[in-house]
Structure 1
């Protein structure tokens, strides 16, 4: 209804008020005094207004679409020494809806040589502010017109780089990898476009709601291999030792997903349903790549069947590069991965990277095929990719393994939530990269898991099929997901999306069971979260209990701050479980006795609940009999992480239980190599020299987990007649960090001279996370034995602290240098590392180390 204001009526009110001027102001007995309205303090009002104005100012809108980018052609060559890109770009566009007489493109830090129009190459006037290129068109174009813009340019991707985030540590878009100061590092070029960094090397409309096809010509030295989106359609040999490769991407994708990598790669091949799969790695890691990426085809088949949408692209390549600024990136048809996935065949036996491989592949449905329309809606990409990891683990390793992985995600989110709590879908942030946090990833994945549990598998996956099918090759926002699910399941989901996607925080629950009437147990649940900033949640949940080995359940919904629920059980029970399957994203506080935890460990059919119970019991003051019973049960559990917890958490007690035979059996026969390694370590802690021959045998095991644990155990033995130094020498050619660290630890502890050159060589050949683990041991050796080459060690640590791409590795080098702090110029070096550091969290930690020296020059 349309409401109209009547001015004569308002005038009547005013006149009636005027007639009362002569009346007494003393109220009659029936009159009530008017309420006193407190005037707000002007400071409070200003603060309120400032907050609302800031919200308007900081609102991150979905980018306006003035033009529709249809196709981009790029012809690129590179000046590696000066780190320049020489490019010619052709952009085919049309006005999106409104007529347009100018075109604005993103082009960061370019030298622009010529801008022209169409086949005639009519030169166009333009203005440029180093970030955006504004082109004046010769006349006004309508949505019925198509135009082609040609741009010849030189890009400076390294200019004004930095300003990255924890998830994406740099913003220069294209990276030149040189072996300067690191002789074993290969020459490479690669790109990282997310969020809006591809416009550092080619002009485009750098927004996630844009979508276009493209083709890319790369002129490189003939020794290099190139890999990019789409299909390699031609290679032209040039006279000067160079070659031009032509890649064509025929399906449209967002500009941030355009990518390439250049290097001396080898390609390992596989297929799924005729779709070619390629794994690009450095030559020494070719055999390892078959195992590291070997499940890709199986993953592709699993996801295609689960979603009812076959992998929607023409091929899929995966390439491992050095110094990558993130863990991995899902560029359409060509995912790029960090160097940790470079593994030889033996290292790859224990590869733990299925999760990241699954994550990037699942993005090819959620992120590439259907793409967030704005970074505010990033969880539509990242929450799904995070949950894709869960789905793969559930399929391949079982529900217990997937649930335990998801407990880690919950802990990751809760750790971040101690510092900040923001909406999953949020429209206020300072930088695009701020969205790449544990809310978008870990919390988002957990929220999707709750949604699946609420809807049921059939409805959830049918809804995802509807979402993908309806929005194929399109940009989406969060309500597109809700509506697609509602259309399938027939349920209203506004309440779920409002509290989980469009609000911040999480439930904090106090849980109490009253067992005074065993045939009608009463559950009380209270929501204790801060209700000023967090919703009062509607929480569907499950209560379960066991009787005679059978599991019983009741489902309830908490709709208030304090809820009371009767189980109405007919069989007397003494132990019930709230959310035994660990579905809810919540902090849960409850008091459980030792006996209740032991019952949970004994009775629960869910590995994650048994794991929780055993992990909690290790901190309880239990009788020796109970500990032995728990350990024996834990070592026989079907879920391998429980066997590992039993070994690692109760190792000090195992020696009194006479369990050497059990440990020996686990070390030899367990199906999980991590458990075997833990069994060897536990055995070594109680061994008095009886298993020396076993250690020597285990050192030759195909698994580095096992051989490294055996080598470490052997080198720490003090028994007579063993040749520790001689055995150590036989393993100095090994390149696995699991073998190297026991060797360095032994050489340092024993003060064995002559190992300096070997140490330096190891340092030069180690990269990624392995370098982080190595640095402390490397520094300790030269601190203890400076005559072995401490000056060279200092320079290597300094170079790492100044230039390594990973902040945690830089910090490890910074810390290690303090072992040499009294040496000449070392204090200046650590101060230089501090001055160069861009990660604020790392910088604060470095300041703590430097504070005792702040007065020294």
Structure 2
């Protein structure tokens, strides 16, 4: 599953808490919640799944699945005469045991429409299997199940535009099994500790394409305009990894070695399939070689669907992506690693960590999701270089440090209020960072040998963190209990204060390390690099106590003492270097984070020459991400900074080979509102990059809105991403009745993230647009937004906006709109 990670980075919580009420966003369970006192044991195995055979067809009008199922099981160890299957919100018509080709009905009790207790026809022992036949109807739209921060719905089976009434939206069916929603569309033991082979036959309108796990074994054309596709999965996997998808998809056929690699896209995106997914075989090869375990399944398909409830899902052999990875050539010009590509590699790594070896319980989700998060960094390093990898790794750490979860939640978590709560920044971002630290500590050879041992030992079975520890210990010969105890079975992270003292008389450099966090003391192995006399000397040290004093004899005063020289620790660091030391670090230390830290330090006080030197130099950094950071950090109100930066910004705006850096430079120039840049902005409108065009249009709008409005009109038929945002912002700030339809339609059809980003601008225009009917359209949209995202505090935000809208509409003598705004204010109050 795409990490909690990509939906903040996927997930909205950052945008929401910035715009709305942080206290309401992602409310954590209270410490006295009784559910937090329940030990979440691995479910007891009474029966084991062996094989699951499904024959299903769909009722698009009713949103039903009509299913026939044959599930083969055997007792795990002890004899049993009973079976319990998970079955959420179904009509159960027949449950029988299959004997000599005949169905013998069994007695069963359907409990709370969640699970069914079945009395078997006899006592079975673990050397004999039995097959149960079930005739059932699944009704997903009538099922009410709680989702999570990472997976916002849990009804298992989704009908998208089934009646074809939504314009420009395809008709699709798809499934989402994680965590335990597979049992909303077929009966099973819906636990990750179960594994089964499967066969799924889908009867669908003949015009549609299907996808499921494994291989397409048979296609049969029926006389009623339907077709039955049979998919067979001949290696065992967990029920939550079962999938189906049905719809009008174009298939681009690729391959890795002799195996199928296919990409399923909506027809209008089919021409870009290779651009979107074409690097997949290269990633499969890299992961296979790195892990020493070849891709273990018969095929790998990726499919993009509408209205997906998360970022992506690693169904075995058939990953399902949300539509945000779908893009045209022009959109892909501005694509960067975090924008879709990291999700693609994240889900692919799950085919080993999560599918081939599966967490035995949600408490141990780290052995699935932390590894998928980790994989994003190693691929970035391999493909794009260490700067990209280090940026990605650091961004993940910041996401974790900013979350409310870090101080109290263990990585391996046996106590939680709901299994969905485990999908968080601890499991994803912290877990990925922990693995990167362990890789640094052990070295690549031992680390990846450990992964190889873990995968081979537990192939097609289940794993947990202790098995991972044993694999790393076998590979390295080192005891790692200390590491797993503090990082996997303990909560929090160090807050590390670093200070320095040089004694010229004794030629002694002292480094003072202090952990200031409450709670446990962390053992921290680290590198300290001392730069002196034109040379770097590395010292490998351990911090074992809350406060440690380290001394080093150096021939001359160091130019730089670089604590955590590999920039790999998971810690909130306060590093008390001087700006001259940070300057030396920027120009001489090798890593992305060395330069990042120096830019951060320099940004604080740009009146000083050393600070200016760093910031101006960073505008030409070799990595575009740091060029952008420097551009955004510039204090252009300072004459010296502005005068030094202007020629560099102009050059970047014209010639930078990265479109995002070019756009950032144009945005910075636009904020200066210098008429001399108008020609540059107009020329930039000819770029193929939406980001560059959007920045240029914004710049023109800041200089001359009257000139910008007709230019924006010319882009209404072809705009995406940053250009759409720029048109929306320009119209919302400066437009009127003529521009309202574009603003309203854009907001109405926006992605979830874009709605959060643009709701304030919609409210501003709603308050001043001339036509009352337009104002009331805006008020209705804002109301819907406030109600739908109340859990994030959107209701409070909408109430604040409505007070302003009401006042403005009253001044305009628009009583109807003012009353409509007042009604929303009252409705929001009642909603609380």
Partner of 1:526: 514
* SS of residue matched to 2:412: coil
Q: What do residues 71-121 of structure 1 show as CA deviations (whole Å, max 9, x unaligned)?
A: 101111222333222111110111111111111111111111001111211
Distance in 2 separating the partners of 1:489 and 1:764: 56
Partner of 2:621: 637
Aligned-residue offset at 1:340: 1.6
Distance in 2 separating the partners of 1:146 and 1:772: 53
Indicate yes or no: 2:713 matched with 1:726. no
Aligned-residue offset at 1:798: 4.4
Partner of 1:566: 551
* Residue pair 1:70, 1:211 contacting (<8 A) in 2 also: yes
Distance in 1 separating the partners of 2:829 and 2:279: 42
Q: Mark the structure with the bigger radius of gyration.
A: 1
Indicate yes or no: 2:674 matched with 1:688. yes
Distance in 1 separating the partners of 2:792 and 2:763: 18
Aligned-residue offset at 1:700: 1.9
Distance in 2 separating the partners of 1:182 and 1:830: 30
Distance in 1 separating the partners of 2:626 and 2:33: 53
- TM-score for the superposition, normalised by structure 1: 0.86
Partner of 1:136: 119
Q: Which is worse superposed, 387-396 or 570-579? A: 570-579
Could you tell me which runs of 5 or more consecutive residues in structure 1 were left unpaired when the two chains were aligned: 1-50, 837-846, 848-857
* Residue pair 2:690, 2:722 contacting (<8 A) in 1 also: yes
Q: Which is worse superposed, 275-284 or 363-372? A: 275-284
Matches within 5 A, 1:545-560: 545-560=530-545
Partner of 1:400: 387
Q: What do residues 596-644 of structure 1 show as CA deviations (whole Å, max 9, x unaligned)?
A: 2222223221121211111222112532x44542233112221222211
Indicate yes or no: 2:80 matched with 1:105. no
* SS of residue matched to 2:818: coil
Aligned-residue offset at 1:686: 4.1
Partner of 2:142: 159
* SS of residue matched to 2:566: coil
* SS of residue matched to 1:158: helix
Of 459, 483, 492, which residue of structure 2 is paired with 1:496? 483
Aligned-residue offset at 1:556: 0.8
Q: Which is worse superposed, 277-286 or 423-432? A: 277-286
Indicate yes or no: 2:498 matched with 1:511. yes
* SS of residue matched to 1:59: coil
Aligned-residue offset at 1:360: 0.7
* SS of residue matched to 1:207: coil
Distance verdict in 2 for CA 1:417–1:56, change over 3 Å: closer
Of 766, 769, 773, which residue of structure 2 is paired with 1:785? 769
What is the number of equivalent residue pairs in this alignment? 781
* SS of residue matched to 2:569: coil
* SS of residue matched to 1:447: helix
Aligned-residue offset at 1:54: 7.1
Partner of 1:823: 818
Of 577, 582, 590, which residue of structure 2 is paired with 1:605? 590
Aligned-residue offset at 1:199: 0.6
Partner of 1:850: none
Matches within 5 A, 1:52-451: 58-118=38-98, 119-129=101-111, 130-178=113-161, 183-351=167-335, 352-417=339-404, 420-451=407-438
Distance in 1 separating the partners of 2:826 and 2:210: 40
Distance in 2 separating the partners of 1:414 and 1:659: 32
Could you tell me which runs of 5 or more consecutive residues in structure 2 were left unpaired when the two chains were aligned: 1-30, 807-816
Partner of 1:35: none
Aligned-residue offset at 1:511: 2.2
Larger RCO (alpha carbons 8 Å, 6+ apart): 2
Of 567, 576, 587, which residue of structure 2 is paired with 1:591? 576
Q: What do residues 692-718 of structure 1 show as CA deviations (whole Å, max 9, x unaligned)?
A: 333222212121111111121123223
Distance verdict in 2 for CA 1:513–1:282, change over 3 Å: same
Q: What do residues 214-250 of structure 1 show as CA deviations (whole Å, max 9, x unaligned)?
A: 1111222233322211122222223333322221111
Q: Which is worse superposed, 568-577 or 667-676? A: 568-577
Distance in 2 separating the partners of 1:629 and 1:66: 68
Distance in 2 separating the partners of 1:707 and 1:74: 51
Of 704, 723, 744, which residue of structure 1 is paired with 2:690? 704
* SS of residue matched to 1:824: helix
Distance in 2 separating the partners of 1:513 and 1:367: 45
* Residue pair 2:183, 2:190 contacting (<8 A) in 1 also: yes
- RMSD, aligned α-carbons: 2.8
Partner of 2:7: none
* Residue pair 2:237, 2:460 contacting (<8 A) in 1 also: yes
* Residue pair 1:814, 1:830 contacting (<8 A) in 2 also: yes
* SS of residue matched to 2:451: helix
* SS of residue matched to 1:88: strand
Indicate yes or no: 2:735 matched with 1:740. no
Aligned-residue offset at 1:575: 2.5
Distance verdict in 2 for CA 1:162–1:795, change over 3 Å: farther
Distance verdict in 2 for CA 1:386–1:827, change over 3 Å: farther
Q: Which is worse superposed, 274-283 or 132-141? A: 274-283
Distance in 1 separating the partners of 2:494 and 2:672: 45
Distance in 1 separating the partners of 2:175 and 2:799: 28
Distance verdict in 2 for CA 1:87–1:754, change over 3 Å: same
Aligned-residue offset at 1:806: 11
